[in-house]
Amino acid sequence: MVGNQYKKQSKWWMVWRWALHWQILLGLIFGGLIGYLTAEHYIGVWENIHAEAIAESMKANQTPQEAGIPGVETVVESAFFYMVMDLFGDIFLNALKLIVIPLVTSSIIISVIGIGKQSGFGRIGAKTLSYYAVTSLVSILIGLTLVNLVKPGIVQGGVLLTGDNVQQFSDVAGTIQQKVGGSSGADFLDVFRKLVPDNIVTAAVSNNLLGLIVISLFVGYLIARIKREPGEILTLFFDGLYRVSIRLTNIILKFAPLGIMFLIAATVADNYARLSQESRLLDFLNSLVLYAATVLGGLLIHFLIVLPLFVWAFTRVNPYRHIRALAPALLTAFSTASSSATLPVTMECTEQRTGVSRKVSSFVLPLGATVNMNGSALYECVAAIFVVQAFGWELTLAQQFFIVVVALLTSIGVAGVPSASLVAIIVILTSIESQLAAKGIDLPLVAGVPMLFILERPLDMCRTAVNIYSDAVGATVIAKTEGEKGLLRKELLYGHESFEEN
């Protein structure tokens, strides 16, 4: 029956019957193509509008920015077609974010009610946190090793960031510091402050998932200890909220291929147009490509070797079947660059396609989307050391160990939204600046952060996919250690494309 169903769905021309992950992949391809063609078209429009000014700037050996010519991105972003793509992409992303709060709170409460009655809450919590700490540390050490071997910021015959280059970035660096609120090395303590929000409504509005998770844990634990009718009513209420949230997630996922296509199209169009004019940054292209290769190499090692080893060691099944089962979540994470927005898809794939129970997935995954950022931790370490290398400075072993510790701590509190790792990088570089200043060494390290922007978005998409996969591996590993059986059965992989209520 399952085999026949799978064959029926596999006809290549019936796109609407393809598995969800193939539909999303098709959306990614079409989105990238549409974005590229859109950018190329409006680059031509921009060149026609400013043809004379561009010719004059070339005679004066100036870049368009130096000549005061408006950037091509302004033409792209004001185009009606781009605004339509951006609109539909934002609608899809907002729909995913809409369901996060009710899904997270209800799923955790129901999970803890079940765990609380079986006296397994502390055991599962300890396993979860231990897994997060170990995998995050391993990812950081991978990044640290690669960036020291490759040395992407070290260039032959000089220093990458000196004099005029630093001055060019200084204004942008000041804007960045304003946006992140003047982050400092002590800001990771805010993670503990967020554990107990003073207002549950404010916590929901500000997307303080960490505080909501703590509240949900206590609510579920206490409901499990309320006897008779009141406890049963509350349990039924939150179970109903969870089921409604899942049904709404299922509806949203039907539009995922189109939503992701629009998201990618708008992202590619905007970034391609912007990068085509950033001639002053393209001088650093060789080092930036090497830096990006270092980050991607570390992410691939963690994604294809380290995490699959965890799956194989604990479940004794082919770990790449596990990756296939999670394909819709991984592609959604890659497209949205948001762990929080991808959470509903991750929960569906983990429960329906890998066979992890709701009890485990509802506890492990929401917590992981907030505190388990393997890919982000690796990226922060590599990016921070790359910027230091770009200033021609080699960090001592003790200073690199400091970066490892700060990257581990800040990765816990980094929000599951695009480019949130920027805050952590500012924290790390500011801390290193202070250490070097105490020794009489004045390096404006934060001024090097804008250099990372040219490849920030694609790297953000890749590290978010690693974050999501690490969460799902954790749920699978913990489910196996809890004695759950039947993980990654073939009928789970081929027999479900949408969530069905138990």
Range of the domain at 119: 19-495
Terminal alpha carbon distance of the chain: 20
Neighbouring residues of 199: CB distance < 8 A, sequence distance ≥ 6:
none
Q: Is residue 317 part of a domain?
A: yes
Q: Is residue 73 part of a domain?
A: yes
DSSP H or E stretch at residue 155:
strand 154-155
Neighbouring residues of 114: CB distance < 8 A, sequence distance ≥ 6:
224, 359
Contact criterion met (CB below 8 Å) for 135 and 374: yes
| Tens-place pLDDT, residues 24-54 | 888 888 988 998 898 888 888 888 887 777 7
Q: Is residue 165's pLDDT more than 60?
A: no
Q: Is residue 428 part of a domain?
A: yes
How many separate domains does the chain show?
1
| Tens-place pLDDT, residues 298-324 | 999 999 999 999 999 988 888 888 998
Contact criterion met (CB below 8 Å) for 474 and 131: yes
Question: Considering the entire predicted model, what is its pTM?
Answer: 0.74
Residue range 346-373: mean pLDDT, rounded: 87
Q: Is residue 10 part of a domain?
A: no
CA distance 160 to 304: 32
Which domain CATH number covers 342? 1.10.3860.10
Q: Is residue 11 part of a domain?
A: no
CA distance 316 to 487: 10
Q: Is residue 349 part of a domain?
A: yes
Q: Which of 71-80, 288-297, 319-328, 351-360 has the lowest mean pLDDT?
A: 71-80
CA distance 430 to 384: 10
Q: Is residue 426 part of a domain?
A: yes
What's the angle, vertex CA 282, arms to CA 280 and CA 286, rounded to 5?
140
Residue range 396-421: mean pLDDT, rounded: 70
What pLDDT is stored for residue 113 in this prediction? 81
Cite the beta strand spans of 205-255 per DSSP E.
none
Query: In this structure, what DSSP letter does residue 305 have?
Result: I
- The larger pLDDT score, comparing residue 66 to residue 270, is at 270
Find residue 344's DSSP bridge partners.
none
Query: In this structure, what DSSP letter does residue 500 have?
Result: -
